[in-house]
């Protein structure tokens, strides 16, 4: 990048008290929404509840202050839950801190290398498939709390979770289940009648007093995690070594990719609401810096949160000030109200996350694509989804990209064609054969063959290219390449073989109308020198004229 330029430096011109009031109100509303979500996502990630608040406070503030979007708000997100849970299970809190810092470094590099623009080339089938995989992972992780099951640690893999649940299904706590169902009913029904009331907070405020006053046998945050800290997070350098860093590289890369995709999708959503345009590379740099600080302060990795950003816009937020206010309000909640959070029932948090998983699953779009999209797109969608739930999310993205690339090459190979011109052939009596298809083509000299090449020429199309063959009396072969937009080194290698075959048969090879990019690739590969500059013709007329001179 030419310069480090956060959006706040350019969008505050003409800022007034009226907009400040709207940003403050918006920030407060978003903080109220973020509070229960941050706690629930931290618990789902295998961490203590306050670490989700640390993310909103530290990561959220830095994302707003340094980001490339006017209104994107950072916080703990569902997209990273499964990856964080896996890291914590394998490497502990120090490993998570190190992976978060490493992911931050990768994000900064992605920003400076302008990788933000590359993410738009990821097909929708991949993003929908891996998002559905994330949703399934979150849903599967919440059944223990929602049902009140008596069991030890939850397995990492989705299938293993369901197997473990089946083995302890007899331990379902009816009271916990009823509490969870009540919370779920509130989450579903309330938005229908009171859309402006945060349903997540309402579910907590209704069910928590009910559980306490009736002394219900339901696990709460306090009964599971003990007293919650109500102080600003402490700066801590994680205890790591070189072997741990090496082992964490795949997980850190996964985090960076997930954070980048989710964040930029959130920016695209808010761009649509505002009619604005974000700076994707600046946003990645901000996310990287924010995650480095989150790692040092023991927070959950931060990413752009669609729900918070869109709610900010809907409530009048138009500048990064709203996101910074949101972080400050969450800090006040941590310092003043955190002890009360200990009474929140675990089934309620599980219900909240099940609703989050439902919202992000995109099942309607999933079913629509599955029914109406081509089979090749369905292969990408299903392959990505199954890879996400059976292996991990990084493998899901890799598998989706691999399948998409293979299918794309197949489509391109079908587009590319090599066809021989059907031209007037003279019979033994000297009369031309009545080939009606040839009437629209140019007259081709004797002992000359013309091949029209259409479409990109690359390694997946070499079979068509090898079909170029000369007759026994052929003296000149012309390759007409006006419809070839690109060429790769494998195709040039096969052109060299064709040139060798022509040389052995004393046939002159001519190239007609080679476009700028294919010509530059040929020149770098040395093919122009081997063929000879004089055998490159500007158009087919020049090539036919040259061929006539060679065969006469």
Q: What is the CATH number of the domain that holds 509?
A: 3.30.750.24
Say what the pLDDT of residue 418 is. Answer: 77
Greatest pairwise CA separation for the chain in angstroms:
109
User: In the prediction, which pLDDT does 301 show?
Assistant: 97
Both 463 and 350 in one domain: the answer is no
Beta strands 448-454 and 417-420, pairing class: antiparallel
State the angle between helix axes of 199-213 and 17-44 in degrees (0 to 180), rounded to the nearest 10.
Answer: 50
Question: Are 99 and 199 contained in the same domain?
Answer: yes
Residues 241, 315 within the same domain: yes
Distance CA 214, CA 430 (A): 107
167-186 pLDDT, tens per residue?
999 999 999 999 999 999 99
- Let me know whether 326 and 441 are in one domain: no
Does residue 104 lie within any of the structural domains? yes
Distance of CA 435 to the CA centre of its chain: 54
Residue 239 belongs to what H/E stretch?
A: none
Distances (CA, A) of 273 to 270, 317, 430, 470: 5, 11, 73, 61
Does this model's pTM top 0.85? My answer is no
Q: What average pLDDT score do residues 15-42 get?
A: 91
* Confidence check: pLDDT of 440 > 70: no
Residue 467 lies in a domain: yes
Question: Phi and psi (nearest 5°) for 348?
Answer: -70, -45
Beta bridge partners of 480: 452, 512
| For residue 320, pLDDT beyond 90 | yes
Same domain, 485 and 337: no
Look at the block and give the residue holding tokens 């079908």.
Answer: 414
Number of independent structural domains in the chain:
2
Q: What are phi and psi of 74, to 5 degrees?
A: -95, 155
Instruction: Looking at the structure, tell me whether residues 112 and 185 fall in a common domain.
Output: yes
Structural domain includes residue 521: yes
Whether residue 352 lies inside any domain: the answer is yes
The reported pLDDT for the residue numbered 464 is 59
Same domain as 96, residue 219: yes
User: In this structure, are 336 and 483 located in the same domain?
Assistant: no
Domain that holds residue 107: 16-362
Given 330, 345, 362, which residue is the final one in a domain?
Answer: 362
| pLDDT value at residue 439 | 36
Instruction: Sort 550 into a burial class: Cβ within 10 Å, 0-12 / 13-18 / 19+.
Output: middle
pLDDT at 427: 42
Q: Would you say 115 and 284 are in contact if contact means Cβ atoms under 8 Å apart? A: yes
Same domain, 352 and 494: no
pLDDT at residue 246 tops 90? yes
Contacts of 413 (CB under 8 A, 6+ apart): 460, 461, 464
Final residue belonging to a domain, choices 343, 362, 381: 362
157: burial class by Cβ within 10 Å (0-12, 13-18, 19+)? middle
What is the spatial distance between Cα 401 and Cα 254, in angstroms, rounded to a whole number?
Answer: 14
Show Cβ contacts of residue 517 under 8 Å, excluding neighbours closer than 6 positions: 485, 486, 487
Q: Measured in whole angstroms, how far is the alpha carbon of residue 299 from the centre of its chain? A: 23
Q: Examine the domain organization and report whether 160 and 228 are in the same domain.
A: yes
Q: CB neighbours of 288 closer than 8 A, spacing ≥ 6?
A: 103, 104, 105, 106, 107, 108, 109, 110, 111
Tell me: do 172 and 262 sit in the same domain. yes
Over the Cα atoms of the chain, what is R_g?
A: 31
Are 197 and 49 contained in the same domain? Answer: yes
Q: Is residue 134 part of a domain?
A: yes
Is residue 263 one of the residues assigned to a domain?
yes
Residue 428: per-residue pLDDT = 38
In sequence order, what E strands does 283-407 have? 303-304
Q: Write down which residue in 345, 362, 379 finishes a domain.
A: 362
Contact 393, 254 (CB under 8 A): yes
Residue 381 covered by a domain: no
Give the pLDDT confidence score for residue 208 in this predicted structure. Answer: 95
For 365-370, what is the mean pLDDT?
83
Can you give the pLDDT at residue 360? 80
Is 411 inside a domain boundary? no
The structure tokens 């400050």 sit at 328
């Amino acid at each position: 990048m030419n310069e480090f330029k956060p959006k706040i430096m350019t969008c505050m011109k003409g800022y007034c008290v009226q907009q400040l009031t709207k940003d403050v109100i918006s920030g407060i509303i978003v903080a109220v929404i973020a509070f229960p979500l941050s706690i629930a996502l931290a618990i789902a990630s295998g961490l203590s509840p306050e670490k989700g608040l640390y993310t909103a406070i530290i990561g959220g503030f830095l994302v707003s202050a340094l980001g490339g979007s006017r209104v994107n708000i950072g916080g703990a997100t569902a997209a990273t839950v499964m990856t964080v849970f896996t890291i914590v299970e394998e490497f502990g809190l120090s490993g998570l801190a190190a992976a978060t810092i490493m992911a931050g470094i990768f994000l900064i590099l992605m920003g400076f290398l302008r990788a933000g623009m590359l993410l738009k080339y990821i097909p929708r089938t991949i993003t929908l498939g891996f998002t559905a995989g994330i949703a399934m992972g979150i849903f599967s992780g919440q059944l223990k709390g929602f049902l009140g099951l008596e069991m030890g640690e939850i397995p990492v893999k989705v299938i293993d979770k369901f197997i473990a649940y089946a083995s302890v299904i007899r331990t379902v706590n009816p009271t916990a289940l009823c509490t969870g169902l009540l919370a779920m009913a509130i989450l579903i029904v309330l938005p229908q009648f009171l859309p402006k009331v945060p349903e997540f907070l309402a579910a907590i405020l209704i069910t928590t007093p009910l559980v306490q006053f009736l002394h219900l046998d339901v696990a709460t945050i306090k009964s599971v995690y003990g007293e919650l800290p109500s102080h600003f997070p402490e700066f801590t350098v994680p205890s790591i070594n070189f072997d741990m860093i090496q082992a964490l590289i795949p997980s850190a890369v996964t985090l960076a990719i997930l954070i980048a995709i989710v964040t930029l999708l959130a920016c695209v959503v808010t761009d649509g609401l505002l009619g604005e345009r974000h700076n994707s590379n600046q946003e990645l740099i901000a996310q990287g810096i924010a995650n480095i600080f989150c790692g040092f302060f023991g927070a959950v990795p931060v990413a752009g949160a669609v729900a918070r950003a869109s709610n900010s816009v809907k409530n009048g937020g138009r500048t990064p000030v709203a996101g910074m206010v949101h972080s400050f309000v969450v800090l006040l909640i941590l310092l003043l109200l955190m002890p009360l959070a200990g009474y929140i029932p675990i089934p309620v948090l599980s219900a909240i996350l099940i609703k989050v998983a439902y919202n992000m699953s995109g099942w309607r779009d999933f079913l629509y694509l599955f029914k109406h999209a081509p089979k090749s797109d369905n292969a990408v969608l299903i392959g990505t989804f199954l890879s996400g739930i059976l292996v991990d999310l990084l493998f899901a993205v890799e598998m989706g990209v691999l399948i998409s690339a293979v299918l794309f090459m197949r489509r391109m190979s079908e587009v590319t064609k090599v066809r021989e011109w059907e031209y007037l052939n003279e019979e033994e009596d000297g009369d031309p054969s009545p080939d009606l298809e040839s009437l629209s083509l140019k007259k081709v000299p004797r002992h000359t063959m013309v091949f029209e090449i259409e479409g990109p020429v690359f390694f997946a199309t070499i079979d068509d290219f090898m079909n170029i063959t000369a007759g026994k009396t052929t003296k000149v072969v012309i390759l007409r390449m006006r419809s070839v937009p690109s060429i790769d080194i494998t195709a040039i290698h096969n052109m060299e073989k064709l040139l060798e075959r022509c040389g052995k048969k004393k046939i002159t090879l001519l190239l007609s109308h080679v476009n700028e990019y294919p010509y530059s690739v040929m020149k770098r590969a040395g093919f122009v020198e081997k063929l000879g500059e004089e055998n490159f013709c500007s158009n087919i007329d020049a090539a036919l004229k040259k061929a006539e001179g060679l065969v006469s």
